[in-house]
Amino acid sequence: MKRYFFKPKAFRRIVEKLPEPLKTNIAESMPKKPSVEVVEEASFKLYLVEGEPLLVEMNGKFFPYLSRVKVLKGLPRVVVDRGAVPHVCNGADVMRPGIVRIEGEFEAGSLVVIVDELHGKPLALGLSLHSSREILKAEKGKMVETIHHVGDKIWNLYRNLKG
């Protein structure tokens, strides 16, 4: 693991390239001159702003850290039933039978937040394999590829850094 400070201007350039609403949500959550630190693992980088996880880079793609609820605001949501919750929390991709509803419209390849039906809490982030319209029409099959979930190595890295 490598840990180093990152120039705020360079971080702002990364944020400027993000799609909406992520770009606006992240920009609004940062101070004017943030302290940015990078924790680098073999397969990902975790960007800490003012000591809190904000952004993850994996395979050249950026997505928000799962617990940053304000940053996730405005992203489309895939709501899963109770039966899907333990599987999603273990990193499983989202299958059609477990989807209760979709909030927001999106195209295939979009970043989506996977939330539980009961409390609406974020369980995972994923990339949609189909558009929201196609998912609603489908009866079975894989609909969302999970890229970050509660309890994964990204989640646990920050928990371990906190002590």
**Total length of the chain:** 163
Q: How many helices (H) and strands (E) does the chain have?
A: 6, 11
CATH number of 75-149: 2.30.130.10
pLDDT score of 29:
87
Rounded Cα distance, 86 and 84, in Å:
6
**β-sheet bridge partners, residue 116:** 80
Q: What is the CA radius of gyration of the chain?
A: 16
Return all residues near 38 (Cβ < 8 A) that are at least 6 apart.
2, 3, 4, 5, 6, 45, 46, 47, 48
Write down the domain spans for the chain: 2-65, 75-149
| Helix axes 8-16 and 22-29, enclosed angle (nearest 10) | 150
Q: What is the pLDDT along the chain (163 residues), one digit of tens a residue?
A: 999 999 999 999 999 999 999 999 999 988 989 999 999 999 999 999 999 999 999 999 999 999 999 999 999 999 999 999 999 999 999 999 999 999 999 999 999 999 999 999 999 999 999 999 999 999 999 999 999 999 999 999 998 887 6
pLDDT score of 163:
67
CATH number of 2-65: 3.10.450.120
Helix, strand, or coil (residue 136): helix
pLDDT score of 17:
95
109: left (phi over 0), alpha (psi -120 to 50) or beta: left
pLDDT score of 159:
87
**pTM summary value:** 0.93
